[in-house]
Amino acid sequence: MQKSSLLLAAWIGAGFNASIVNSFAADVLGYKDTPLVPGLQWHVHDPDRPRPKVVTPGETFSHGAPAPSDAVVLFDGKDLLKWKSDKGDAKWKVENGYMEAVKGAGNIRTKDEFGDFQLHIEFATPEKVVGNSQGRGNSGVFMHGIYELQVLDTYDNLTYPDGQCGALYGQWPPLVNVCKKPGEWQSYDIIFEAPHWDENKKLTKPASITVLQNGVVIHNKKEYLGETRHREAASYKPYSSRGPIELQDHGNPMRFRNIWIRNLGEYDKP
């Protein structure tokens, strides 16, 4: 069997609709001229990398979850006072309890910075499907402004696996694909641990992340290989181990709501 036939069979076996597979197979976006992902046989954004199995999540999980008493509410559906952009104030649209990315307004990020944290955020890709692959419902949640957890409409939408929804972009695909249909609200529950360096600026602890999407574990204390980059291998450079939460404007009218964060405490020491 030719490689292309094997790839089509793998996509269908992973749960993708056969007609969608056939219509997109000829032009699935991906790259073979990029560096290898450190320690792996796959190129960054490799279209031949195995695709996660499709799993149907429960109807709801933490959708609408109230913030705990020690959480900082980053967005309550009313205003963007806790957010800013490179252009000054955050200019995304706010209505009906959600914020919506406005094309050309740029990324927005929190005014406050955080170290290790628990983050809850809900998102919805556009109900009207426009485009495919990376052009369909694209955004991202950036831990410390530099480690991306991809947001994308990957419901019957083929793209390179390390760029699908739930991927640690350019590094690790999610364990499974649990995307809901376009326009439906989805939830991310994230536990992020910051990287650390010693006095000689040697990395002693990589950044790591645990993620539940719609109640399903898609990453379990997975280590980032470094800062998120497009078409480049990831690497680390020292910083304060604190940073903002950033949301990406990728030209699609993505919606977000019910965003809260809480700092992780520390166990007592002997």
* Contact yes or no for 224/192 (Cβ under 8 A): no
Alpha-carbon span 236 to 257, nearest angstrom: 31
268 belongs to a structural domain:
no
Percentage of the chain with pLDDT > 70?
A: 90
Q: Can you give the pLDDT at residue 108? A: 98
Compute and round to an integer the Cα radius of gyration of the chain.
18
* Contact yes or no for 88/49 (Cβ under 8 A): no
223 belongs to a structural domain:
yes
29 belongs to a structural domain:
yes
* Contact yes or no for 25/9 (Cβ under 8 A): no
Alpha-carbon span 236 to 228, nearest angstrom: 10
120 belongs to a structural domain:
yes
Half-sphere exposure of 24 (CA within 13 A, CB side): 23
Q: Can you give the pLDDT at residue 238? A: 97
User: 179-234 pLDDT, tens per residue?
Assistant: 999 999 999 999 999 999 999 999 999 999 999 999 999 999 999 999 999 999 99
269 belongs to a structural domain:
no
* CA distances for 54 relative to 23, 208, 218, 262, angstroms: 18, 24, 11, 31
Alpha-carbon span 189 to 205, nearest angstrom: 22
**Residue-range definition of the domain harbouring residue 68:** 3-263
Q: Which CATH number covers residue 61?
A: 2.60.120.560
Residue 46, token pair as written in the block: 């490799």
| Res 70 pLDDT > 80 | yes
- pTM exceeding the 0.75 threshold for the entire prediction: yes
* Contact yes or no for 112/72 (Cβ under 8 A): yes
Alpha-carbon span 38 to 93, nearest angstrom: 39
234 belongs to a structural domain:
yes
User: 117-161 pLDDT, tens per residue?
Assistant: 999 999 999 998 888 888 788 999 999 999 999 999 999 999 999
190 belongs to a structural domain:
yes
Q: Can you give the pLDDT at residue 116? A: 98
As for how many domains the chain has, the answer is 1
Task: Specify the range with the lowest mean pLDDT, choosing from 19-23, 54-58, 91-95.
Answer: 19-23
78 belongs to a structural domain:
yes
| Res 26 pLDDT > 60 | no
Spell out the long-range contacts of 263-266 with Cβ–Cβ below 8 A and sequence spacing 24 or more. 263/70, 263/114, 263/115, 263/116, 263/117, 264/115, 264/116, 264/117, 264/118, 264/191, 264/193
Q: What is the 3-state secondary structure (H, E, C) of the chain?
A: CCHHHHHHHHHHHCCCCHHHHHHHHHHCCCCCCCCECCCCCCECCCCCCCCCEECCCCCCCCCCCCCCCCCEEEECCCCCCCEEECCEECCCEEECCEEECCCCCCCEEECCCECCEEEEEEEECCCCCCCCHHHCCCEEEEECCCEEEEECCCCCCCCCHHHCCCCECCCECCCEECCCCCCCCEEEEEEEECCEECCCCCEEECCEEEEEECCEEEEEEEECCCCCCCCCCCCCCCCCCCECEEECCCCCCCEEEEEEEEECCCCCCC
